[in-house]
Structure 1
Amino acid sequence: MASSNPLGSLFGRSPIGPIQEHMQVAFEAAEHLPELVQATADGDWDRAREIHKAIRDAEGEADKIKRNVRRHLPKSLFLPVPRSDLLTLVSIQDQVANTAEDFASIVMGRDMQFPEKILPAVLELTETSVGCCGQALASIQLLDNLLEVGFSGREVKRVEAMIKELDKLERRTDKQQFNLRRKLFKLEAELPPVDVMFYYRATALLGTLADCAEKVGDRLQVLLAK
C-alpha cells in the first residue's frame, strides 16, 4: 500500500504500508467466517472446504508479512512512535488471523453444523465479530495519514471516533455471545455432550475474534496518546 508520507521518499517504501497490508490480510481471513458457517449449515462441504482453504491461505500470508515486518522495519527511522510499538501492533493484528483460522479449523475438523435453533444467533455473532475486524482495519488504514501529520490534528479525532465505534461493536458481541450461550444452555440436554463442548469453544472463539479487533484499536489509541 503506497504512502504519501515524505519519509517514504527518504527510506523507500514506508514502513507503515506493510503494517496496513498485514491488517488487510488478517481481515481477509476473518471475513470468510459467516460464509463458512452458512456453507456448513447448508451441508455444502465442498464449498466449506474452499472457504477453509482461503482462510488458511490468508492466515499463512499474514504470518509471512508479520515476519517480514519484524525483519525489515527500520531501526533508525525517525518516527513519532517507537519501533517497538509498531511491532506490538503487528503482533496484535496477527491474532485476528490466527483466531479466524482456529475457529475454521474447529468447524471443519469436526464437520460442525450448528443446531438450527441457535444458527441465527451464531451467524449474528459471526457477522458482528467480523464487523469489529473491518472497523479495526479501517482505523489502521489511516495510520499513514497519522504518521504524516505527526499523530496530531483532525486525523486523530477521526481515528478516535472510529475506535469508539469499534468499542461499541465489541460490546455488542459481548451481549450476543451471552444470549447465544443462554440459548445453547437450554439445548444441552438434547445434544451430544462432546458436541456441546465444541459449540461453546467455537462460539467463544468468535468472541475472542472481536476482542482481538478491539485490542488493535486499543493499541492504536496508545499510539495516539504518545
Structure 2
Amino acid sequence: MPVNSILGVFAKSPIKPLQDHIDKVYDCASVLVPFFEASMSGNWDRAVELRKQISQLEREADLLKREIRLTLPSGLFMPVERTDLLELLTQQDKIANKAKDISGRVIGRQLQVPASMQAPFLAYLTRCVDAAHLAKNAINELDELLETGFRGREVDLVAKMIAELDLIEEDTDDLQIQVRRQLFAMEAELNPVDVMFLYKIIEWVGDLADLSERVGSRLELLLARV
C-alpha cells in the first residue's frame, strides 16, 4: 500500500490498519487446519501449496506491520497511546509468525501426526484457531469503541470477548495435555526424532491460543488506560 494511501486511511481512522493486519493474521492461522488435514492424509503436494499460502499471508501481514510502524502518527487525536497500538500490533504479528513456523517445520520433515492422535489434535488445533478468530473480532470492535468514546455497551461487549479469550486459552491448555498424553503413550512406537518434533509442534499450536490471549490482554490494558 502506498504511503499516501495508508496515510489517507489513518486520516479517517488510526484503527483501520490495525484491523486490516489482524484480519490477515487470522487468515494466516486459519489455513493451518486444511494444511494439517492435507499432511495427515499424506497429500504433501496440497500441504506444500497451503504452506506457500501461509507464507504469503505472513509476508502480507509483515508488510502491513512495517507500514503501520512507519506511518502511524505520533500525535493522534484520540484517547489511545501510540505505544499501546504498536504493542498490540506486535502481539498480533506473532500469531502469523507462529503459523508460518509450524507449517515450515511440518513440511521440512514431512511430519505426520499419528493416526490415533489426528482427531484430538485437529480438535485442539481448531480451538487454538478459534482464539485467533475471537482476537480478530475483538480488534474489529475498536472502531466502534472509538465512535462511542470508549464508553457504554461496546466496552462491555469487548470485555466479554476478552473474558471468552481467557476461557478458550484454558480449554486449549486442557486439550494440549490430552494430546501430549496420547503422544507419550505411543513414544516407543515412533521415530524418536519425530516424537521430539511432534512435542514441539503441539507446543507451538498452543502458542497460537496463548498469543491470541495476549492480544486480548493488550486490548484490555489499552481500554483501562482510556
Range into which the TM-score falls when normalised by the shorter chain = over 0.9
How many Å apart are 1:77 and its aligned residue? 1.5
* Aligned CA-pair RMSD: 1.5
Residue in 2 that maps onto 1:154:
153
Distance across 1 between alignment mates of 2:76 and 2:141: 19
Structure 2 counterparts to residues 75-114 of structure 1, below 5 A:
75-114=74-113
2:144 paired with 1:141: no
Residue in 2 that maps onto 1:178:
177
Counterparts in 2 of 1:180 and 1:13: CA distance versus 1, 3 Å: same
Question: Which amino acid in the other structure matches residue 161 of structure 2?
Answer: M
2:60 paired with 1:61: yes
Counterparts in 2 of 1:10 and 1:137: CA distance versus 1, 3 Å: closer
Counterparts in 2 of 1:139 and 1:111: CA distance versus 1, 3 Å: same
Structure 2 counterparts to residues 42-53 of structure 1, below 5 A:
42-53=41-52
Q: Normalising by structure 1, report the TM-score.
A: 0.94
What SS does the corresponding residue of 2:12 show, helix, strand or coil? coil
5+ residue gaps, structure 1, are 1-7
Q: Is the contact made by 2:131 and 2:169 (CA closer than 8 Å) also made in structure 1?
A: yes
Q: Is the contact made by 2:9 and 2:16 (CA closer than 8 Å) also made in structure 1?
A: no
How many Å apart are 1:13 and its aligned residue? 3.4
Distance across 2 between alignment mates of 1:12 and 1:79: 12
How many Å apart are 1:211 and its aligned residue? 0.3
How many Å apart are 1:11 and its aligned residue? 6.1
Distance across 2 between alignment mates of 1:178 and 1:185: 10
Aligned identity (percent) is 45
5+ residue gaps, structure 2, are 1-6
Counterparts in 2 of 1:78 and 1:174: CA distance versus 1, 3 Å: same
Alignment: residue pair count: 219
Deviations, residues 153-193 of structure 1 (Å, cap 9, x unaligned): 11100101111111111110000000111110001111111
Distance across 2 between alignment mates of 1:9 and 1:61: 19
Question: Which amino acid in the other structure matches residue 142 of structure 1?
Answer: E
What SS does the corresponding residue of 2:186 show, helix, strand or coil? helix
Residue in 2 that maps onto 1:132:
131
Residue in 2 that maps onto 1:192:
191
How many Å apart are 1:42 and its aligned residue? 1.0
Deviations, residues 23-72 of structure 1 (Å, cap 9, x unaligned): 00000110011111110111111111111011000100110000000000
Distance across 2 between alignment mates of 1:182 and 1:91: 33
Residue in 2 that maps onto 1:3:
none
Residue in 2 that maps onto 1:39:
38
Q: Normalising by structure 2, report the TM-score.
A: 0.94
Question: Which amino acid in the other structure matches residue 220 of structure 1?
Answer: L
Q: Is the contact made by 2:98 and 2:207 (CA closer than 8 Å) also made in structure 1?
A: yes
Distance across 2 between alignment mates of 1:119 and 1:70: 40
Distance across 2 between alignment mates of 1:56 and 1:194: 25
